[in-house]
A and B are shown apart, each in its own frame.
Chain A
Amino acid sequence: MPRFSAHAGRRIVIAIPTVWLIVLFLIPFIIVFKISFSEVRLAMPPFAPLLEWLDGKLVAIKLNFANYAFLFTDALYVSSYLYSLKVAAISTVFCLLLGYPMAYAIARSSPTSRSVLLMLIVLPFWTSFLLRVYAWIGLLKSNGVINNVLMSLGIIHEPITMLQTDFAVYIGIVYSYLPFMILPLYANLEKHDLTLIEAAADLGARPITAFLRITLPQSLPGIIAGSLLVFIPAVGEYVIPSLLGRTDQLMIGRILSDEFFENRDWPVASAVAIFMLGLLVVPIMLFQHFEKRTLEAGK
């Protein structure tokens, strides 16, 4: 009897995330995947059905690969994909360069100041994401805070164009996603055994060598987790480039939304989405691989 209930309990525990993923991820994914092979038409819904039924019998499957082919024939999509990957990659590197020292400092600070510092990292989440990005418009625009201060100090004589540049997008993404880099890095660095650093010093390693050969390799899982948490959403980022970014070069998230809502071309939009997912599977697999390796390595 207790065996049975333990078994049932385990099933329920596994069932909750499974159902969640099926209903909210797998089914929508299948729908989008299906739409990506349809033809666009002026109707409601705005795409042709994939399967043709006659008298309750399946008579034809009409697969349309034109949407995918279109992604590669129109330079807009290719350049948007590449631009998105570039922006996400550069932002991730900056998040890492900024976030690593911060996470390291927090992990090595005293337990009391540690909780305060962690609070400060999470504090921005208390205001709306949209508001925080809007605030950057006020800071970066031509007659914004930064330009006004620099001009009144006489450092510059005419405003620097910062808004609607790549620079503004990097600022926005790095600022918004930095906590996602810091938190997994902190979780990793905090667990490090500091006697290993002493051992390295004892064996003749200077502090910089000890960091590069002991701390850094051991924090690799944290670096990868943080980087993915920044990189993956940054590739598909819509709000930040729309508000702060260039108008001549769109990121793929913006293209996606435009296809859906402006062009009402659901099949092409779906194809864009599916292709983006395909691109992101690579880093996710990489993460899984490292996760598995860490688990196998035990303690």
Chain B
Amino acid sequence: MSTQPSGPTAQAPYLRIENVTKRFGDFVAVNDVSLHVQRGEIFCLLGGSGSGKTTLLRMLAGFETPTSGKIYIDGQDMSEIPPYDRPVNMMFQSYALFPHMSVEKNVAFGLEQERLGRQEIKRRVGEILEIIKMTPYLARKPHQLSGGQRQRVALARALVKRPKLLLLDEPLAALDRKLREHTQFELINIQEQLGVTFVVVTHDQEEAMTLSSRMGVMNHGQIVQVGTPTDIYEFPATRFVADFIGSVNMFEGKLIEDEPDFVRIRCEDLGGIVYVNHGISSAPDATVWVAVRPEKINLSRHPPAPAGGAHQPEAGAGENTVRGTVKEIAYMGDMSIYLVRVESGRTIRVTIPNVARHMEDRITWDETVYVSWHAASPVVLTR
């Protein structure tokens, strides 16, 4: 959690979205979304294309009007307030820098609209250009800048107005991978330095994970789950979230034992029983899904010793262990992805970190292996 930016402070929510719906004709782009964001948070809206995340962001900026529902920023109802009067600024995905103006003019534009004095504008533009390290380029036109520089100017132009809320639409999408990582941390730094509340829209889960203090996953115009990146990754609420964030092995099964501190699930795909050491609340015989992340799975040549001990007192042999054959190995550098075909025909994805440079005895193609996981690893999903 130490890599996460400053968390929310215990106050009334700074941004309140209440039952907001947006329809375009018959199409419901945003469906009854309610959301609270605290002051100083970096909140990410994560979703695929068409999930409604951009429409929601545009409603915060005032470019779209909600069909129903209300948006409050710092307690103020935004319904009747046009974009040019909102205490909100946006960093556009295309950056939308004014091509006929220099960097300095672009950044000064927003302050000029506030009718500030020339000296004051100059001072604040100078300040923000210093923060984003663009002072040497202030006379350049946008087309004379690199992608990363343009991104920083766009950020400065939005931040210089000291908005209550900064909206970022896919802030890193146009940057290449190396620059992206660097910029992510820079964004977090600037956010901490200035204490502005960020709402970020992205389809990139990695971006959302590293940037956000909390995130909301959107699908079909609805918020499916809200939580910290750890919550969302380790405790997904639905199959959609589990599948959308990271990769996951999902097995359909029947609940056969449901106790307060453990459950047993029969999975045809695994030809066996999955034992999970936490209870869920669901009807017996209900269809549930077991989700196991690839990095939480072990591979071994011999069946693992029945893991007794305090954690798994009742786990019998054959539970949480499946035999299979290695069908595919993809070497990724930092880790390798193994695809293991089990007897039912299902393929299980396993990732193993490459801890040593020479691993002579590593498991290889067509070997028979045992796939196993700890009873705490799976997440049981009911929807």
Contacts and interface: CB of A to CB of B under 8 A. Distances in A.
Q: Do A and B belong to a common assembly?
A: yes
Contacts of B83: 198, 201-202
Nearest to A207: B84
Interface string B71-86: 0000000000011110
Given A204-B114, A213-B109, A218-B100, A298 B143 contact: yes
A289 interface: no
**Among the interface residues B62, B90, B114, B157, which one has the most CB atoms of the partner chain A within 10 A?**
B90
Nearest to A209: B113
- Give the interface SS of chain A, mostly helix, strand, loop or mixed: helix
B233 interface: no
B94 A205 contact: no
A3 interface: no
Contacts of A204: 84-85, 110, 113-114, 161
A297 B113 contact: no
Contacts of B63: 198, 201
A205 B100 contact: no
Interface string A233-249: 00000000000000000
Interface string A263-299: 0000000000000000000000000000000000111
B161 A203 contact: yes
B98 A201 contact: no
Interface string B90-114: 1010101111100000000110011
Contact of B84 (A205, A213, A298): A205
A195 interface: yes
B316 to A, nearest CB: 61
Nearest to B61: A202
Contacts of A213: 109
B257 to A, nearest CB: 56
- What size tier do the contact residues of chain B reach? 20 to 34
Nearest to A201: B83
Contacts of B158: 202-203
B99 A299 contact: yes
A199 B98 contact: yes
Interface of A: 193, 195-196, 198-206, 209, 213-214, 217-218, 297-299
22 contacts: A193-B94, A196-B96, A196-B99, A198-B92, A200-B98, A201-B62, A201-B63, A201-B82, A201-B84, A202-B83, A202-B88, A203-B84, A203-B89, A203-B113, A203-B157, A203-B158, A204-B110, A204-B161, A209-B113, A218-B99, A298-B143, A299-B99
Q: Top 10 nearest A-B pairs by Cβ distance?
A: A204-B113, A203-B110, A199-B96, A201-B83, A195-B96, A298-B143, A201-B84, A202-B90, A204-B84, A217-B100
Interface of B: 61-63, 82-85, 88-90, 92, 94, 96-100, 109-110, 113-114, 141, 143, 157-158, 161
